[in-house]
Amino acid sequence: MRRVGVLVGAIMMAACGGSTEPAKEAAPPASQEAKAPAPQPPPAETRMPSAAAMHIELPPGSTAAVFNGSLAPDKDAEFVVAEDKGVHMFVQVIGKDDDPFVSVHRTDTGADLPDEHKANPAHWIAELPETMGYLIVVHKTGKPTPFSLILEV
């Protein structure tokens, strides 16, 4: 009787287009083929300002500044700005050919601050947690890179 049940089950599966073989995953459609991963920002790290960090002071009443510079292939650019707790700070880096990644760190502990705009690693925006100095890092790209740093508070 058991053999009859197994035979009936196999016939039903075959009739329904089924298989007694283990299921295999279907290949994704051509439109969903794997694409090259997008460049990712460097991992979060603790970072203190170096002696080469440029200090930024916005003129009284000013809420924005633009700084032009150039990255050496193996060097990051660092900027330090002092701002008040609760201020929303927006940082954007625009490169001539490619946009370098940007990160912001506390100057007292070096802790990497989370970005509220994670979609684009060349932008950083967040509400500042304390009245203090903040380190803005424009990360090296592996080649000489002219850039503009836009800072808005």
The angle formed by the CA atoms of residues 118, 102 and 134, to the nearest 5 degrees, is 105
What pLDDT score was predicted for residue 98?
A: 83
Cα dihedral angle (133, 55, 51, 76), rounded to 10 degrees?
A: 90
Residues of the chain with pLDDT > 70, as a percent, come to 71
Q: Reduced to 3 states, what is the DSSP secondary structure of residue 126?
A: strand
Query: Which H or E element spans position 7?
Result: helix 2-15
Q: Rounded to whole angstroms, how far apart are CA atoms 17 and 65?
A: 67
- Predicted model pTM: 0.72
Residues 81-88 have a mean pLDDT of 96
Of 152 and 2, which is predicted with more confidence? 152
Among 1-10, 53-62, 124-133, where is mean pLDDT lowest?
Answer: 1-10
Of 122 and 32, which is predicted with more confidence? 122
| DSSP class of 112 | B
> pLDDT tens digits for 17-27?
444 444 444 55
C-beta neighbour count of 42 within 10 angstroms: 14
Beta carbons within 8 Å of 29's beta carbon, 6+ residues apart: none
> pLDDT tens digits for 95-124?
988 889 999 999 999 999 999 978 889 999
